[in-house]
């Protein structure tokens, strides 16, 4: 049940109706939990067990943690939660990968071994809700947050459907206090524009760029460098619009029920350094990794070498979180290298003194950072190692062939794709300069609102993608 | 005061209602305007409209028609057929870019009674692919006024996957929504027209005799690269035609013979380098397949796969005008024997 489908609209109307009918806060929370379970079961009914059983474990572990004073027992309780959560994630997401790599290693050593790797389906959203549950028990263990006494509140924290499948990754300390307030329905122009903006990003931009990216990156050997560059930019925009569009819709849906979800993106393609990028891209994951991995590893408290090691390990884990595949590890490694390198040289940034030099330096930094980000998207997108290396070579070493007009006759959508990218980048740059457009539109005059509505309607009919793609982050 | 208006409940609801109404109006406007946009857009499938119009209201009635894709557009000169045959029968090249066998079949119900001979140009790739249509073709046919007959629908439904044929019978509103592909396609086609002065795109749209768009031979370096890319993406060991295409072809031949029309199955020329790259097994398998084809009275097979030399190709797949001349001469000989 994708957000942009008619069945989701019907589902939402039903949920809103029941939510409105329910008079007390308790019943409203119950409606949301029930709706969230149905929403999850729409994808895979049996996997609801994976959502609910560990939830019971974490709920009780957290309550015991709050009562327990013995450090050893507290560590033991935390270990139960970590093992339960990571054990499930490890089995469903990484077990097959581990078996396949073990087999490759055995073959590499010259031994002869054969076994059939099992076919294990990945429960949708498992990476997201595992991290949310872990953050809860770790926070209670660190005494950074109190445990909730309400199983209903905890259930809603884990299952709340707008962000159940692909985040934003919510912290219990942010979400649970909101449930103490009286929940109420909200629907205004601000929420509407947030949903509209998310929907447009997803279906009009991301889904329309998807076929071009697929066409080029499925066989990069046959395309010139300039097309590889265009495809890398197209994928950068696609994944941003896909994921930030989903996040905006999730935030908008949350607000309908009076619940605020954290912002997940802050125009990452205007970042001027690796650390700046990770403050703007998938914010809920990067802050999670910072607080629960980087800090746990020692952060920057152990000297230069251990800081670099911790940064690299955090990014490798972040890469591996995305999927059980070496290309995600490589993606994490490349970003880790950039973070380490930036930390090495960042003192040099402060040398530029005059405003003009600083301005030029900033533009240069943004360009350099985005070059690196684009390069990193190639291993993220192309899993086949030979095709990935070909694309990387053509991206880094241009072949000088710029005759894109001679490519294909009729079926190649290179110009309309470029126009779509240009339009998006212009709007994106404008919103970076003037602030969020959805917030501006929500304050606009009546004629402007009518004009935007008509334009959006025409755009939906004429630009709705020919084939719908699921959200990219659903696979993680 | 303004702030109070902004935050008070009723004006806020009015603004939201205005937004929802204007969004609905925008959607309705999009649906309403789609046929107009479609008719005005410079689409690469616009030739479909030209061909349908010619068959319905053309000034002359053809006796010989040629169907095929861009290889046939470049490689068959229908005027040379007219001058090469006794009585100068009116001949039309009704090929179009990417035309599949199923697409050629859609035109059959539109053919005037004057047509006595049908030439099907068969590129091997078309026979091997199990797909019926380019997804936008059926929609283009609908938007340009084509409505399939019951017999056309039934035969296609019996041969291809239902999902490929269902679009033929979609209601008007669904067809208008499906027609949105034209928006992006018009940008690509329009810009390509501007950026490719070397192409005779108007001719490739409107010419009913020799609609070849290419005017300049590819430089050897680019040709080598194109040949290499072609072999990378379409490398094959043996020739395996798709059963669905063979069933349709057999039906098309039977229908033509029943309507007392002659049929020529013309296998398109293949660049010698490509043919060599396909491997040693390919040519004997293809020859065996051609030998086993329907050789009933009224059906001729022209195997031009090895007819042309490398110099006769403008790029990796399309013949030059000299190549077209050689191929058409052979076709005229075949047609003369048939008559």
For residue B38, give how far its alpha carbon lies from the nearest alpha carbon of chain A (Å): 11
Contacts of A458 in chain B (CB under 8 A): 26-27, 29-30, 33
Tell me whether residue A322 is one of the annotated catalytic residues: yes
Nearest to B66 by CA among B56, B79, B49, B53: B79
**Contact A221/B24, CB-based, under 8 Å?**
no
Residue of A409, A452, A459 best to disrupt the B interface, most CBs of B under 10 A: A409
Among A261-275, B195-209, B224-238, which stretch is predicted with the lowest mean pLDDT? B224-238
Q: Is the pLDDT of residue B61 over 70?
A: yes
Residue of A462, A464, A467 best to disrupt the B interface, most CBs of B under 10 A: A462
Alpha carbon of residue B248 to chain centroid: 16
**Do A73 and A166 fall within a single domain?**
yes
pLDDT tens figures, A306-345 = 999 999 999 999 999 998 899 999 999 999 999 999 988 8
**Contact A411/B229, CB-based, under 8 Å?**
no
**Do A104 and A216 fall within a single domain?**
no
Within a domain: A158: yes
For residue A27, give how far its alpha carbon lies from the nearest alpha carbon of chain B (Å): 26
Whether residue B43 contacts residue B186, with contact meaning beta carbons closer than 8 Å, is answered with yes
**Contact A453/B26, CB-based, under 8 Å?**
yes
The reply to whether B187 touches chain A by the CB within 8 Å rule is yes
**Do A191 and A176 fall within a single domain?**
no
pLDDT tens figures, B71-114 = 999 999 999 999 999 999 999 999 998 899 999 999 988 999 99
**Do A163 and A205 fall within a single domain?**
no
For residue B106, give how far its alpha carbon lies from the nearest alpha carbon of chain A (Å): 21
**Contact A460/B30, CB-based, under 8 Å?**
yes
**Contact B34/A462, CB-based, under 8 Å?**
yes
pLDDT tens figures, B5-17 = 444 566 678 888 8
Domain termination residue (choose one: A180, A214, A233): A180
For residue B233, give how far its alpha carbon lies from the nearest alpha carbon of chain A (Å): 8
Residues contacting residue B19 through CB under 8 Å, at least 6 positions apart: A189, A192, A449, A450, A452, A453
- For residue B46, the chain A residue with the least C-alpha distance is A410
Domain termination residue (choose one: A180, A205, A222): A180
The reply to whether B196 touches chain A by the CB within 8 Å rule is yes
Residues contacting residue B177 through CB under 8 Å, at least 6 positions apart: A461, A464, B31, B34
Facing residue for A456 by CB, picked from B23, B191, B222: B23
For residue B208, give how far its alpha carbon lies from the nearest alpha carbon of chain A (Å): 19
**Contact A446/B180, CB-based, under 8 Å?**
no
Contacts of A410 in chain B (CB under 8 A): 44-45, 97-98, 185, 188-189
Within a domain: A475: yes
**Contact A460/B25, CB-based, under 8 Å?**
no
Euclidean distance between CA atoms B14 and B12, whole angstroms: 5
Percent share of chain B, pLDDT over 70: 94
pLDDT tens figures, A55-86 = 899 999 999 998 888 999 999 999 999 999 99
Whether residue A443 contacts residue A193, with contact meaning beta carbons closer than 8 Å, is answered with no
Euclidean distance between CA atoms B51 and B66, whole angstroms: 12
Is the ipTM higher than 0.90? The answer is no
Q: Is the pLDDT of residue B178 over 70?
A: yes
* pLDDT tier for residue A443 given thresholds of 50, 70 and 90: confident
**Contact A188/B34, CB-based, under 8 Å?**
no
Q: Which of these is catalytic: A322, A335, A342, A428?
A: A322
For residue A419, give how far its alpha carbon lies from the nearest alpha carbon of chain B (Å): 9
**Do A204 and A169 fall within a single domain?**
no
Domain range for residue A226? 186-265+403-476
Structural domain total, chain A: 2
Contacts of B184 in chain A (CB under 8 A): 208, 413, 416, 420, 463
Within a domain: A137: yes
Domain termination residue (choose one: A124, A148, A180): A180
Within a domain: A55: yes
**Do A223 and A176 fall within a single domain?**
no
**Do A122 and A212 fall within a single domain?**
no
Residue of B11, B14, B22 best to disrupt the A interface, most CBs of A under 10 A: B22
Within a domain: A83: yes
**What is the 3 state secondary structure string of B29-68?**
HHHHHHHHHHHHCCCCCHHHHHHHHHHHHCCCCCCEEEEC
Write down the mean pLDDT value for chain A: 89
Among A90-94, A175-179, A324-328, B335-339, which stretch is predicted with the lowest mean pLDDT? B335-339
**Do A90 and A198 fall within a single domain?**
no
Within a domain: A375: no
* pLDDT tier for residue B4 given thresholds of 50, 70 and 90: very low
pLDDT tens figures, B232-282 = 766 666 678 888 999 999 999 999 999 999 999 999 999 999 888 888 888
Within a domain: A448: yes
10 Å CB burial of residue A444 (0-12, 13-18, 19+) is: middle
**Do A65 and A84 fall within a single domain?**
yes
Within a domain: A152: yes
**Contact A453/B232, CB-based, under 8 Å?**
no
**Do A113 and A259 fall within a single domain?**
no
- For residue A446, the chain B residue with the least C-alpha distance is B15
**Do A116 and A191 fall within a single domain?**
no
**Do A51 and A162 fall within a single domain?**
yes
């Amino acid at each position: 049940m994708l957000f942009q489908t008619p069945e989701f609209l019907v589902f939402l109307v039903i949920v809103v109706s029941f939510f409105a009918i329910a008079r007390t806060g308790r019943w409203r929370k119950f409606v949301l939990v029930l709706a969230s379970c149905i929403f999850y079961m729409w994808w895979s009914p049996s996997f609801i067990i994976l959502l609910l059983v560990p939830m019971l474990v974490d709920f009780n572990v957290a309550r015991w943690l709050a009562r327990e004073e013995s450090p050893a027992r507290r560590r033991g309780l935390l270990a139960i939660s970590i093992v339960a959560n990571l054990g499930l994630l490890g089995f469903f997401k990484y077990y097959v990968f581990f078996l396949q790599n073990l087999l490759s290693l055995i073959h590499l050593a010259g031994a002869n071994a054969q076994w059939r790797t099992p076919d294990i389906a990945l429960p949708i959203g498992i990476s997201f809700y595992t991290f949310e549950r872990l953050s809860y028990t770790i926070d209670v263990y660190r005494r950074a947050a109190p445990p909730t006494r309400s199983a209903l509140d905890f259930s809603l924290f884990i299952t709340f459907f707008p962000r159940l499948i692909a985040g934003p990754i919510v912290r219990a300390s942010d979400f649970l206090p909101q449930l103490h307030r009286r929940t109420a329905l909200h629907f205004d122009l601000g929420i509407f524009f947030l949903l509209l903006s998310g929907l447009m990003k997803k279906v009009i931009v991301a889904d329309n760029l998807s076929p071009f990216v697929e066409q080029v990156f499925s066989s990069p050997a046959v395309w010139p460098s300039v097309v590889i560059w265009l495809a890398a930019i197209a994928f950068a925009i696609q994944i941003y619009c896909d994921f930030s569009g989903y996040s905006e819709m999730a935030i908008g849906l949350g607000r309908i029920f009076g619940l605020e979800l954290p912002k997940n993106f802050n125009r990452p393609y205007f970042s001027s350094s690796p650390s700046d990028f990770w403050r703007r891209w998938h914010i809920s994951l990067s802050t999670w990794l910072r607080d629960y991995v980087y800090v746990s590893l020692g952060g920057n408290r152990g000297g230069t070498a251990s800081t670099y090691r911790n940064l690299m390990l955090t990014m490798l884990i972040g890469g591996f979180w995305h999927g059980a595949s070496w290309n995600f590890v490589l993606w994490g490694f490349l970003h880790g290298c950039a973070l380490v390198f930036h930390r090495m040289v960042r003192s040099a940034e402060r040398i530029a003194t005059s405003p003009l030099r600083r301005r030029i330096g900033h533009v240069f930094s943004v360009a350099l950072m985005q070059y690196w980000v684009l390069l990193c998207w190639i291993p993220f997108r192309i899993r086949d190692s030979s095709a990935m290396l070909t694309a990387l070579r053509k991206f880094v070493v241009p072949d000088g062939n710029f005759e894109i007009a001679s490519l294909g006759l009729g079926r190649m959508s290179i110009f309309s794709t470029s126009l779509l990218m240009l339009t998006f980048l212009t709007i994106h740059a404008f919103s970076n300069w003037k602030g969020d457009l959805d917030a501006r539109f929500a304050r606009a005059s009546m004629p402007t609102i009518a004009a935007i509505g008509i334009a959006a309607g025409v755009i939906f009919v004429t630009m709705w993608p020919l084939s719908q793609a699921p959200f990219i982050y659903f696979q993680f | 005061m303004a702030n109070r208006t902004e935050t008070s409940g009723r004006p806020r609801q009015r603004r939201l209602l205005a937004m929802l109404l204007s969004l609905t109006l925008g959607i309705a406007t999009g649906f309403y305007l789609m046929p107009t946009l479609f008719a005005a857009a410079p689409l690469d499938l616009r030739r479909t409209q030209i061909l349908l119009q010619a068959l319905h209201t053309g000034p002359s009635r053809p006796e010989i028609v040629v169907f095929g894709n861009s290889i046939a557009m470049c490689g068959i000169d229908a005027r040379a057929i007219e001058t090469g045959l006794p009585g100068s029968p009116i001949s039309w090249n009704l090929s179009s870019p990417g035309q599949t066998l199923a697409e050629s079949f859609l035109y059959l119900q539109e053919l005037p009674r004057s047509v006595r001979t049908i030439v099907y140009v068969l590129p091997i790739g078309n026979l091997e692919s199990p797909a019926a249509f380019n997804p936008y073709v059926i929609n283009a046919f609908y938007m340009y006024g084509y409505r399939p007959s019951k017999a056309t629908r039934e035969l296609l439904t019996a041969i291809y996957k239902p999902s490929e044929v269902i679009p033929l019978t979609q209601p008007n509103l669904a067809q208008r929504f499906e027609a949105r592909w034209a928006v992006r396609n018009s940008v690509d086609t329009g810009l390509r027209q501007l950026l490719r002065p070397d192409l005779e795109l108007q001719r490739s749209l409107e010419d009913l005799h020799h609609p070849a768009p290419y005017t300049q031979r590819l430089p050897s370096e680019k040709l080598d690269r194109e040949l290499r890319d072609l072999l990378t993406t379409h490398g094959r060991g043996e020739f395996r035609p798709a059963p669905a295409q063979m069933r349709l072809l057999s039906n098309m031949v039977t229908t033509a013979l029943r309507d007392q029309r002659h049929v020529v199955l013309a296998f398109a020329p293949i660049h010698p380098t490509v043919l060599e790259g396909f491997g040693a097994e390919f040519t004997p398998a293809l020859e065996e397949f051609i030998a086993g084809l329907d050789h009933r009275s009224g059906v001729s097979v022209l195997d031009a796969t090895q007819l042309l030399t490398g110099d006769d190709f403008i790029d990796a797949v399309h013949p030059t005008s000299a190549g077209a001349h050689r191929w058409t001469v052979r076709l005229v000989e075949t047609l003369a024997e048939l008559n």
